[in-house]
Amino acid sequence: MIKVSHSFQGPVITGFQVTLRPVAQNDLSQLRDWRNSDTVRQQMLSTDFISEEQQHAWFKKIQRDDSQQHWVVEYKGQAIGATNIKARFHGDSVNTAKTLEPGLYIGHPDYQGNVIAFAPTLALYDYCFAHLSVESFFAVVKAENKAALKYNQQLGYQVINQSDLIDLRLQKEGFERHTELLRRLLSRSPRKGQ
């Protein structure tokens, strides 16, 4: 179960032990450090290093672009990564698009490859299916990025095209069916010391 509140920057989504809050100016340095780290950068479609100027230009652009939304992922009050959605087709807004393209990276090394890495996706997709006009998600993964491919397939994505890049599609029913166990695991209250 997710909770949605609103800040002047956009929706704040809480569920599955994480909070997704809109990216703010003071997040840019941390996001850029994570995005430029070898672990994250090498899995991106664009492996270019991001300069401080590019990061600020990106932030300025997303402030006025209704075709995308970006959040910082927080776990236990600590920023651990970033997630986003973009309208699949030019001219669509994320609020009216039927198909969205998601993005996610976990920048904090303690949570990469950890089950908590599924939490932001569960919260975000539940929000999109329940509160927006979304019918499906579309993802593109590098063929050599086996971890991302496995991650997406565990969420219920189906391969629809395969070459150097793999195109994947996810619909609500497949998502709900494939994520039952993850939902139960991440809906439990964390034990003391976790």
CATH number at residue 13: 3.40.630.30
Residue 141 in any domain: the answer is no
Q: Which residues pair with 159 in a beta bridge?
A: 168
In the chain, beta strands by DSSP E: 3-7, 10-15, 18-22, 68-75, 78-87, 99-106, 136-142, 158-162, 165-171
Residue 146 in any domain: the answer is no
pLDDT at 40 (0 to 100) = 80
Residue 70 in any domain: the answer is yes
pTM above threshold 0.85:
yes
Helices (H) and strands (E) in the chain, counts: 7, 9
| pLDDT higher than threshold 60 for residue 193 | no
Q: Which residues pair with 158 in a beta bridge?
A: 169
Residue 17 in any domain: the answer is yes
d(CA 113, CA 163): 25
Tokens of 186: 């991440």
The tens digit of pLDDT for each residue in 36-84 reads 888 786 777 777 888 999 999 999 999 999 999 999 999 999 999 999 9
Residue 171 in any domain: the answer is no
pLDDT at 49 (0 to 100) = 87
Residue 109 in any domain: the answer is yes
pLDDT at 30 (0 to 100) = 94
| pLDDT higher than threshold 80 for residue 191 | no
Residue 144 in any domain: the answer is no
pLDDT at 41 (0 to 100) = 67
Parent domain of 63: 3-135+179-187
The tens digit of pLDDT for each residue in 132-181 reads 989 999 999 989 888 899 999 999 999 999 999 999 999 999 999 999 99
| pLDDT higher than threshold 60 for residue 3 | yes
Summary mean pLDDT of the chain: 92
In 18-106, beta strands by DSSP E: 18-22, 68-75, 78-87, 99-106
